[in-house]
Chain A
Amino acid sequence: SQKIEQNSEALNIQEGKTATLTCNYTNYSPAYLQWYRQDPGRGPVFLLLIRENEKEKRKERLKVTFDTTLKQSLFHITASQPADSATYLCALDIFRNQGGKLIFGQGTELSVKP
């Protein structure tokens, strides 16, 4: 069956460390992959997009990698801060550019301790 899997357990790290979140998928060939942040009681907010022909994308302290052979994306937050604590969702364009429809993973809850 087609699946998107993110770290099922919450991730707890110390402030200043690098957080690494994983998004694995099967049986899809997405044209691109996106990462969103969601705070409690709020809607998701877009962070980064990486296309199938890109290996890595950076934005400030965020870095995303995309390995279409392994069917995996890694999301890194360097020099993490307590304000980075949130749930992070990966989303795949499995419909190959048909109207921007996305399939979301269940999300990984990140907690950064001071």
Chain B
Amino acid sequence: DAGITQSPRYKITETGRQVTLMCHQTWSHSYMFWYRQDLGHGLRLIYYSAAADITDKGEVPDGYVVSRSKTENFPLTLESATRSQTSVYFCASSEGGPPYNEQFFGPGTRLTVL
């Protein structure tokens, strides 16, 4: 399927467990992003990637790990989930850089940490 997909769409886990959220895009966009969206905070950037094997921290990276071995995939791992990581997570991709391309968002993953 063309576009950007996320899996799973819903996840319930327990405190201390490791969780990996998957993101896949079919456009071969160079840039990919992970955001979390919480009431009162809007969308906050967790990590981003400019290309395969190039990643960098965003605004709220603590407790998260990313990798990007292939251009089309950008998984986000919560190494030891905490209740404060309960949120909706969005992956996005972009051609990046000038001429200021827009970001394309996935449908989101709703994560609940008990």
Contacts and interface: CB of A to CB of B under 8 A. Distances in A.
Nearest to A43: B105
Contacts of B42: 89, 104-107
A102 B108 CA distance: 18
Nearest to A101: B48
A43 B107 contact: yes
A99 B41 CA distance: 23
Contact of B97 (A34, A46, A91, A100): A100
Nearest to A87: B42
Nearest to A6: B42
Contacts of B59: 103
B104 interface: yes
A101 B58 contact: yes
B84 interface: no
A89 B43 contact: yes
A101 B61 CA distance: 14
B12 to A, nearest CB: 17
Interface residues on B, range: 20 to 34
Interface string B66-102: 0000000000000000000000001010111110111
A103 to B, nearest CB: 7
Contact of A97 (B35, B90, B100, B107): B100
Given A104-B42, A106-B42, A42 B107 contact: yes
Interface in B33-58: 33, 35, 40-45, 48, 50, 58
Interface in A67-114: 89, 91, 93, 97, 99-107
A11 interface: no
Contacts of A103: 45, 59
Interface string A38-53: 0001111110010100
A101 B105 contact: no
**Which 3 interchain pairs have the tightest Cβ spacing?**
A43-B105, A46-B102, A106-B42
Interface of B: 31, 33, 35, 40-45, 48, 50, 58-59, 90, 92, 94-98, 100-108
Interface of A: 31-32, 34, 41-46, 49, 51, 89, 91, 93, 97, 99-107
